[in-house]
Structure 1
Amino acid sequence: MQINDRIIGLLAILGGIGIYAGTFGFRSIPGQQYGSAFFPRVLAIVLVIAGVLMLFTAVRGKLVTIGEMLKGSSGLKVLAVLVSVVVWVYLSPFLGFIATTALLIAALAIVAGGSPLPSIATGIGMSIILFFVFGQLLRVPLPLSAIERLLS
């Protein structure tokens, strides 16, 4: 299958507009300057900007053959990311945010070719940082376990 950058740019713009429109239903958080819609709106704006840039830079857009990008180990890495998202959705209610995120970041780093020890350290460190940024600073409701209750 071949896709032109203009098509992807248009899809990015439409996706960004859809995400931004979806944030109007988010409730505000009392006592917080930035509500739950802040981060999704920032991402939506970035997505629209990226889509516009893709539209304008793709005047002589080359067609990309997706099959070539997904051959060999690259395809397995893409599949690992997609599977990890599904696994996170199902495991996080049981293991909590930090344990599930640490496990999946470490696994993805190893799949990408990283050494096990630094991958595990990165997974643990990033999951704790993400917990504090989203769970504490932005007050995004995250799946909790004993670890998160200890840190909250």
Structure 2
Amino acid sequence: MKTAEQIASFIVMILAVAVYAMTLQFPSLEGFETGPAFFPKMLSIVFFILGVLLFLQSFRSSNDKLPEKMRDALIIMVLMLVYLYLVTLLGFNISTPIILVIFLAFLKVRTWYSYIALPIGVTFFVYLIFQVFLGVPIPEGAMFG
């Protein structure tokens, strides 16, 4: 199973490089230090570093729980695809709290107030940063837009 971790780490690193390369084609905004490519570039760098760390960890890890981890990773990827669909259908402000509640349940969070405070707080914070301060439009969804 170490080979599976190494292959996964290479896939993550290749995808990170591909995303970074795609951001080089993004338009720049005059008068702004950061443009639309800034956040995706930072994420691709973070993912590349995480891929390198996964590769290095593959030499030290035990393989006991790897099938469970792979199942969990697959579930998270499917949930992210569901979230992308929900954002286009329902918009950011509705789909984000829904998916965050699902993730909290998947992570087996036990405190009830986390199911209320975290989804509302994260959604409001992201809305405030992007829509209000940066002026970046947030998806409204096909049903409402």
TM-score between both structures, scaled by the size of structure 2: 0.72
1:95 corresponds to which residue? 90
2:44 corresponds to 1:44: yes
2:8 corresponds to which residue? 8
2:103 corresponds to 1:108: yes
Residue correspondences, number: 139
Per the TM alignment, residue 143 of structure 1 is displaced from its structure 2 partner at its CA by 0.6
Secondary structure at the residue paired with 1:135?
helix
* CA 42–123 in structure 1, closer or farther in 2 if over 3 Å, else same: same
Structure 2: gaps of 5 or more residues: none
Per the TM alignment, residue 43 of structure 1 is displaced from its structure 2 partner at its CA by 1.4
TM-score between both structures, scaled by the size of structure 1: 0.69
* CA 134–64 in structure 1, closer or farther in 2 if over 3 Å, else same: farther
Per the TM alignment, residue 41 of structure 1 is displaced from its structure 2 partner at its CA by 0.8
Match for 2:127: what amino acid?
F
Which stretch has the larger CA shift, 98-107 or 111-120?
A: 111-120
2:34 corresponds to which residue? 34
* CA 12–92 in structure 1, closer or farther in 2 if over 3 Å, else same: closer
Per the TM alignment, residue 31 of structure 1 is displaced from its structure 2 partner at its CA by 4.0
Per the TM alignment, residue 137 of structure 1 is displaced from its structure 2 partner at its CA by 4.0
Q: Find the aligned partners of 2:42 and 2:72 in 1 and give their Cα distance.
A: 30
Secondary structure at the residue paired with 1:113?
coil
Which stretch has the larger CA shift, 109-118 or 30-39?
A: 109-118
**Percent of residue pairs identical:** 27
1:133 corresponds to which residue? 129
Match for 1:90: what amino acid?
Y
* CA 61–6 in structure 1, closer or farther in 2 if over 3 Å, else same: farther
Q: Find the aligned partners of 1:84 and 1:12 in 2 and give their Cα distance.
A: 18
Select which of 118, 140, 144 maps to 2:140.
144
Per the TM alignment, residue 140 of structure 1 is displaced from its structure 2 partner at its CA by 4.0
